[in-house]
Amino acid sequence: MVLAAGLGLRLRPVTDKLPKPLVEIGGMTMLDRSLAALERAGVETCVVNTHYLADLVVRHVAGRERPAIVLSPESELLDTGGGTFKALPELGKEPFWIVNSDTFWLDGGTPALDRMAAQWDCGRMDALLLLHPVVAAIAYEGDGRGDYFLGSDGRCRRRTTAEVAPFLFAGVSLCSPRLFEGAPGGAFSLRLLWDRAQERERLHGIRHDGEWFHVGTPQALDLTRDWFSTGRRLGRHME
């Protein structure tokens, strides 16, 4: 599942006439980087949801042969959880990836998706999140309070409002369809389901060992493009 329906409000004016997933870094759109990573991981079919400037996304993926693209249009935004829930009939009964198409990461020695697939354990997990250290996030403009704690057993826990956590969610997860049992209708965030999995001790995480970029604003985009163009890259990049 590739999430490509968002409005990209914080990236305006760049996204006034261009959906955020089609913004280019290093001569390649963020959407194409996500699809290329999934193809290398062995994914044959990707569901791509659309809403904002959907016609541009549809035209962009129309000529792509691998992976095969199934479109999931949304007349109203359903958020990350609602959009994925709507697409479940296309996603099948086996675990599947959910990737934010506006996420930009560079792999370390082993591709992140391969590392996640190797760690996946359906008997213990409903969701496995890719996490990145707050202090190592490039172009990050958040408050520095992070999203998750990661235990030595691989389980992760979302921070409370009074806490500061060392890891950010990096926009990639591997999930079982079981995660969506009892999901609400309409628009909702995946975080709701991850919280439920956490309560069952079935929410796990893995630390990303390459670079991760927070491309949230025009300034962050400029910094990311500058960083990428200078060749300051660790490991294998996503081209």
State the average pLDDT for the chain. Answer: 92
Q: What is the pLDDT of residues 144-200, one digit of tens each?
A: 899 999 999 999 999 999 999 999 999 999 999 999 999 998 999 999 999 999 999
Express each pLDDT in 133-145 by its tens digit.
999 998 888 888 9
Tokens of 52: 């904002």
CB 206, CB 116: distance < 8 Å: yes
Q: Quick one: 34 exposed, middle or buried, by C-beta within 10 A (0-12, 13-18, 19+)?
A: buried
Query: Is residue 208 assigned to a domain?
Result: yes
pLDDT at residue 89, rounded to an integer = 95
Q: What are the start-end ranges of the H helices in the chain?
A: 30-40, 54-62, 79-91, 112-119, 190-199, 218-229
Residue 235 lies in a domain: no
What domain count does the chain have? 1
84-120: pLDDT as tens digits: 999 999 999 999 999 998 888 999 999 999 999 999 9
Confidence of residue 65 (pLDDT cuts 50, 70, 90): confident
Q: Note down the domain range covering 220.
A: 2-229
Helices (H) then strands (E): counts for the chain = 6, 13
Whether 234 maps to a domain, the answer reads no
* pTM beyond cutoff 0.85: yes
Query: What is the distance between the alpha carbons of residues 131 and 218, in angstroms, rounded to a whole number?
Result: 24
Q: Is 226 exposed, middle or buried (CB count within 10 Å of its CB: 0-12, 13-18, 19+)? A: exposed
What is the pLDDT confidence band of residue 216, given thresholds at 50, 70 and 90?
A: confident
For residue 237, pLDDT beyond 50: no
Q: Residue 55: which CATH number? A: 3.90.550.10
Alpha carbons 217 and 100: distance in angstroms, whole number: 16
Q: Would residue 180 count as lying in a domain?
A: yes
What band does 130 get if pLDDT is binned at 50, 70 and 90?
A: very high
Predicted local confidence at residue 232, as pLDDT: 60
